[in-house]
A and B are shown apart, each in its own frame.
Chain A
Amino acid sequence: MVEEISNTELQELIFIIQHQYGYDFSDYAQASLKRRFIRFMGHAQLEKLAELKLQLQTDPDFFKKMVEYITVNVTEMFRDPQFYQLLRDDVLPRLATYPIIKIWHAGCATGEEVYSMAIMLQEAGLLERSRIYATDMNAANLEKANTGIVPLRWMKDYTHNYIQSGGLHDFSDYYTARYDSAIINPALRRNIIFFQHNLVTDHVFNEFQLICCRNVFIYFNRTLQERVVTLFYDSLAPRGYLALGMKESLLFSKERKKFEVVNGPNKIFRRKY
């Protein structure tokens, strides 16, 4: 089993992927990217790095599976309830002043946070005039997100998160349980569009009042974070909101002066002008 990947080996892998498939991982954070490759090799039961390279060079389906595996897709509904409470209490009332509310979930993984947002918009009476654009680079994630099916075993945790976030309804009203799955109420999905967008290479596609990109930055190095902050700035309406993960920061970005801090601990920022 491979335990370690040297920097040179990592560069070789990045080069093969870029050369052959056009995906650029060169500005991902090295420590976590190495870790993902090592974990994937264990998952694919590959003993040697040479086998991984060979498979990558000869089998596009294998590459596809690898990208799906190495791009992290761990998420939760109402992850960090206090963040959702702030959205509910402080951000949504401000968004309510817009005739159409456009929200971008960048790096939405399997959509759990997107559906959480839809639930809050519904409860605030705003879902009808909201448009949620949910993007990810991983097509398998989007397919899964689009089904609105969540493993039932997580619903207990999600219900707890929902209540902690200040949710006052019966959470089970938002899904139908069938066998071991929970199917999110289709009415919540009516204004959500899922599509592929890669933060590394793709560009501005609309203007938003709120961008949520939580726990995506952590996989990028500072260079790539800088690019994405600029992309978000350009994608926000003046005074539009940006929400990052609890331990992600704009502190290290040159662009930080273009944003004001709405809530420091919960990483809610606002484009200044």
Chain B
Amino acid sequence: MHSSTRFDIIAIGGSAGSLSVVARLLKALPGEMDTPVVLIMHRLKNVSSELNRLLAFGRPIQEPEDKERMKAGHIYLAPQNYHLLLEADGTFSLDYSELVHYSRPAIDESFYSIADAYGKRALGILLSGANADGAEGLARIVKNGGAGIVQDPMEAEFRIMPQAAIDMSADIKIMKTDEIISFIKDQYHTK
């Protein structure tokens, strides 16, 4: 049975110190949740990452191909060397242009496109990280009516990334990992 929720997409960005948090969040996702999740993690160029292996619990994590349509309940990981953008019709568009915040994928670029395409139906979550990528993007999601959560900088291994988002918008919720999990679960209580 599908549970109703206000979100059509959950986008999670993270950098240094975020991997274990992402793992905890994904493990805790309600089984009946059908909202697709998009992960944008900073990764090393041309180095095949272990993320997929580390994060492989229950639901498969896939790197989308260009123009692939997002499917209910799937978890997508931004492929290395591309910015991952969402189109309004629910398909992915990849982009191989300049690095942003020294990174490709850049969290900001995904968040901007999600804010544009999904408006209030987007939930953005920004975790631990050692630079400010994702902060402006999360503020944009919130500005366009979506919900924005950062990992509490007190808990985050690297506080710069969540703190940058907090400094940018007063409407961003600050939560510890457990609270983020409860927040997501609350969205999916079958009504």
Contacts and interface: CB of A to CB of B under 8 A. Distances in A.
Interface stretch (B12-20, B31-39, B93-101, B151-159): B93-101
A222 interface: yes
B43 to A, nearest CB: 14
Interface string A203-233: 0000000000001011101100100000000
Given A34-B116, A72-B97, A222 B109 contact: no
Contacts of A219: 95
Interface stretch (A92-100, A121-129, A185-193, A247-255): A247-255
Interface in B45-79: 46, 63-68, 79
B85 A248 contact: no
A218 B96 contact: yes
Contacts of A111: none
How big is chain A's contact interface, by range?
20 to 34
B66 A4 contact: no
A247 B97 CA distance: 14
A217 B112 contact: no
B178 interface: no
B7 interface: no
A100 B86 CA distance: 43
B87 A225 contact: no
B102 to A, nearest CB: 14
Contact of A245 (B85, B96, B97): B96
A163 interface: no
Given A31-B116, A225-B67, A218 B79 contact: no
B113 interface: yes
B140 interface: yes
A81 B88 CA distance: 34
Contacts of B95: 31-32, 35, 72, 218-219
Contacts of B67: 29, 221-222, 225, 249, 252
Given A72-B96, A246-B79, A251-B65, 17 more contacts: A3-B112, A7-B88, A31-B85, A31-B86, A32-B83, A36-B97, A217-B66, A218-B95, A221-B67, A222-B67, A225-B67, A246-B81, A247-B63, A247-B65, A247-B94, A249-B65, A251-B68
